[in-house]
Structure 1
Amino acid sequence: MKVLLIGANGQIGKHVVHLLQESKEHTVKAMVRDEAQMNVLKEKGVEAVVSNLEGSVDEIAEAIRGCDAVIFTAGSGGHTGPDKTLLVDLDGAVKSMEAAEKVGVDRYVMVSAIHANNRESWSNSPIKPYMVAKHFADKALIASKLNYTIIRPGGLLNEAGTGNISVGENLQQGSIPREDVARTLVTAINEENTFKRSFDLVAGDTAIGDALKSL
């Protein structure tokens, strides 16, 4: 499959780009926010396109056109305010779903956040606006016509991945290397057991492929 990766310049996104470049099953088209980011990717042999989640649905649709699947790893980042969280993590995500539907791209894999489906778990969270955005973006994806997978990772680590994870509907809070989140995203693309499913993801003892098949 040709995969449009939204958020290719992010920390998870960079791992996904590398994995898709190395893949024998998939190719990647990286969506980034500005030309400087695009040029860095192109110098590495990566097909890249500039498009902004704060732009129009039509603009995002043009970025997706010609692809077979979308992976969404974008985020407003921890240094922005609730306004950007609303515009990127919620409205931008929903616009990308609408864009995928507009050009007939059915497969959509979303990075969410652990327990985003459970309001009670983050009622006093310091990142509550982010959790609210993820909660409603996920609900919009579930209500869409897309063949979705929603992956809700725990605390993100920059250490090397192990290739082993734990998945489930309501896991206890935990952490996971970003590299293993990326591997899970790429593995999920063709794993039918993840179709129309959402689940929490933390580090564990089960190989990624086996864990996804066990859902």
Structure 2
Amino acid sequence: MQRDFLWFRNDIYKDRIGCYPPLEIRIMAIIFRAHYPPHSAFKSRKVSTRFPAANFFSTTIKMEGTSATAEETKEQKPNKIFVAGSTGKTGKRIVEQLLSKSYGVRAGARDVEKAKSSLPQHPNLQIVDNFGTVNLVEACRKIGVKRFVLVSSILVNGAAMGQLLNPAYIVLNLFGLTLIAKLQAEKYIKRSGINYTIIRPGGLRNDPPSGNIVMEPEDTLFEGSISRDQVAEVAVEALQCPESYFKVIEIVSRVEAPKRPLKDLFSGIKQK
């Protein structure tokens, strides 16, 4: 059996204190490579041995071939996408958006019965059991993954931003140094040689979008929130958008912000 795309998800929930909205710590990867077994689920998810506080329940899509150009990659539409953590609040939205774009989806979940009851009925959707734990980045390197999208969080580099006293930064790092571990994961991905996009959203909201997406370079935003729907939209768009390659972006939503195409927003961020 062959799989065109893999999608792994990771959700670690923490609450910001005071007036701050809930902030979900996620690691999501999207990896390009053509012909890899479609959507399976990952059952036993353990803490990464390389990054002790970061669980890689991530989202990966990979397209095979080592010489595909950016234009070719953009035009090729994957037949299958694997989404692990598909019953999570953001993962479910990703599945729905992928199905709406006519992707074939294999939704990975710890509880298959829960997935069947919570995910939409769709001919292109297959729900499967998780099949184990992997060291995500190392596994991607070994199988020749070419494209990796990581959904991280704003404030991961809070210390360098002068945000050591930010309540969210303090609280999140009380639990296993979550943000510090995520920053190390980002650095490792950058050194891996894989074509990456790192997305750092603000505090996650369950409600529909109430504003337009604001996209900034890394280490710019230290507050703000965004709808999970918009995070899913950005992640899915980044899959086949060359303007997002080798970039770290931070996103929140603001009512006063003008609505702009995601491609233009990605283009406005420089590679480092």
Q: What's the TM-score once normalised by structure 1's chain length?
A: 0.71
Whether 1:186 aligns to 2:186 is no
Which runs of 5 or more structure 1 residues have no equivalent in the other structure? 58-94
Deviation at 1:132, TM superposition (A): 1.8
Deviation at 1:135, TM superposition (A): 1.1
- 8 Å CA contact retained: 1:115, 1:200: no
* Counterparts of 1:158 and 1:144, CA distance in 2: 33
Whether 1:211 aligns to 2:265 is yes
* Counterparts of 1:155 and 1:43, CA distance in 2: 26
Structure 1 SS opposite 2:171:
coil
Q: What letter corresponds to residue 164 of structure 2 in structure 1? A: S
Query: Against the structure 1 CA distance between its residues 56 and 40, is the aligned structure 2 distance closer, same or farther, given a 3 Å change threshold?
Result: same
If you compute each CA radius of gyration, which structure gives the higher value, 1 or 2?
2
2:101 counterpart residue number: 23
* Counterparts of 1:140 and 1:191, CA distance in 2: 22
Q: What's the TM-score once normalised by structure 2's chain length?
A: 0.57
Whether 1:127 aligns to 2:172 is yes
Whether 1:49 aligns to 2:97 is no
1:22-55 residue CA offsets vs partner (Å, 9 max, x unmatched): 104x432222223334544787232233226xx4
Q: Percent same amino acid among aligned pairs?
A: 31
Deviation at 1:163, TM superposition (A): 7.2
RMSD value, Cα: 2.4
Whether 1:14 aligns to 2:92 is yes
Structure 2 SS opposite 1:145:
coil
Q: What letter corresponds to residue 115 of structure 1 in structure 2? A: L
Which runs of 5 or more structure 2 residues have no equivalent in the other structure? 1-77
2:185 counterpart residue number: 137
Query: Which structure is higher in helix share?
Result: 1
Structure 1 SS opposite 2:249:
strand
Deviation at 1:164, TM superposition (A): 2.3
Q: What letter corresponds to residue 146 of structure 1 in structure 2? A: I
